[in-house]
Structures are given as structure tokens and as C-alpha cells.
Amino acid sequence: MTTSLPWLGPDDPFPPPGASWGPSSAAPGLLAAGAALDVPHLLQAYSHGIFPWFSAGQPILWWSPDPRMVLPVAGFRLHRSLRRTLQRFRASTGCEIRIDSNFPAVIRACSQTPRAGQAGTWIVPPMVAAYEALHAAGYAHSVETWVDGQLAGGLYCVARGRAVFGESMFAHATDASKIALAALVCLCRREGVELIDCQQNTGHLATLGAREIGRDQFLRHVERAQARPACNWRFESVYWDELIPVSPAV
């Protein structure tokens, strides 16, 4: 454990994810500050299970918590009410899932949605710009819930190979973010993705099947998954069969 938070220059490597700074209870998983919020640094960080998280007025802060919250896609918990919602959504001609149709709108909507327990947003303007650049480079994606031609909810994530890192979600309509998450689970099942990174423990994600694993186990998963070919980021209606198969006509 170091007694002072490492400050990274533009060319400095990240500390090992297992490094810690100060009392673990003060900022568990905080590794370093500084560096740059650009595509090369973000790719380097995610490849080692590190992500940025800071608020307005703070420097860039880099994190790698232990344990790590993940959603095993095979263990996604489809509650009865959500199943009915997905069935209605799938059956409606005015409802559809789009991928990367309007990433800027999604991340800006997410920036207006505070994380649980926070008064403000962590998706500050520099973060928006950085992830839009990551999206333009092909490493960040939005999963969007559209209803009658309007963006009703969605989420965005980062992907390297078949390592998928969930970032944030929003909803302008009831269950719209859950629908987007369910769609991401379907896509991941089709593409052979095992885990969706959730970063931090929340009760909401736990009700959907997310659980904590050790950081070492998570890093081994990232190493294997990012070495595989990238996913095909698209969504077709048939993908819903992964969760809500259509009953054959009788």
C-alpha cells in the first residue's frame, strides 16, 4: 500500500491493478490520478480492468475495485414482470432495439442520471467527449430502446474483443433501461460473451443476477475475452429468443 496517490504523467503506465492507495475504506480500488482521458489511455486502462471515475472539480481518477461486480449473461434473472414487458415490447410494431444509432444522445442522457447514492453525475463533459471518441474508434457502443420513433432509454458500454464493460444506463419511460440491458444480454449470449462488467455493487443489478467476483478472477476473464474477435454489434428481433422464445403456433 502506498501512502500517497500516484500521479501519472501523459506517458506513465498505470500501476498494477492490485496496487492500493491509503486506507481501503477511504477509496477502495483507487489506483492513481492524472494521465489523459483519450482513446489510447482508455484502451490501456480497460485492458487491465481499470476505469476512470471522477466528479466535476476533481482530477482524472482511475479505479480497479476488489471485488468486482459482474453480470454472468447465462445467469441473467428474468423476473415475471420483466418477461411480460419484453413480450409486449417484442410484439409491438412501434418498439425496437437499435445499436449505435445515437450514441451521443445516450451518453448525454446517462449524464443526467446520477449513480445510486450520488447527488450529481460522474459523466462530466470531459468523460462525454472521451467516450464519444472511443465510440468513433469502434470500442464504445450504445444499446437503445426506441418506442414510436423516440429514444425511450438505453445504455452504453465499452468492448474489447469479447470483454464487455457496462458503463451507465438511463430511462425516459418505465423499464426502458431494463429492456436495453435485456437486449445486451441477448446479444452477448449470441456472441459468446460470458460476463458483463458492472464495476460496482448495486442492489438493483443484484436483483437481475449480478454478483461479485475477486479482482484476480475478473482480470483473468478480461485477458481471455479481449483476445477473442470483436462482437458483431447489431441486434435482430430473433435475438429475443435467447430470453423469450416465441411459442410455436398450435
Residue-wise DSSP of 2-16: BSS--EE-TTPPPPP
Is 66 a residue whose pLDDT tops 60?
yes
> H/E/C letters for each residue in 83-148?
HHHHHHHHHCCCEEEEECCCHHHHHHHHCCCCCCCCCCCCCCHHHHHHHHHHHHCCCEEEEEEEEC
**How confident is the model over 63-83, as a mean pLDDT?**
96
List the chain domain ranges.
7-64, 69-242
Q: Residue length, the chain?
A: 250
At residue 28, the pLDDT reads 80
pLDDT single digits (tens) 183-219? 999 999 999 999 999 998 888 899 999 999 999 999 9
Identify the band that residue 177 occupies on the pLDDT scale cut at 50, 70 and 90: very high
Topology of the domain covering 69-242 = Aminopeptidase (3.40.630)
**How confident is the model over 90-105, as a mean pLDDT?**
97
Is 113 a residue whose pLDDT tops 50?
yes
Instruction: Just give the CATH number of 7-64.
Output: 3.30.70.3550
- Mean residue pLDDT across the chain: 92
At residue 121, the pLDDT reads 66
At residue 203, the pLDDT reads 86
Query: CA-CA distance, 223 to 220, in Å (whole number)?
Result: 5
pLDDT single digits (tens) 2-54? 568 899 999 999 999 887 665 554 568 899 999 999 999 999 999 999 999 99
Amino acid at position 63, single letter: W
**Residue linked to cell 467476483:** 213
Is 79 a residue whose pLDDT tops 70?
yes
Identify the band that residue 117 occupies on the pLDDT scale cut at 50, 70 and 90: very low
**How confident is the model over 146-165, as a mean pLDDT?**
98
Using N-to-C axis directions, what is the helix angle for 215-226 and 39-47, rounded to 10°? 120
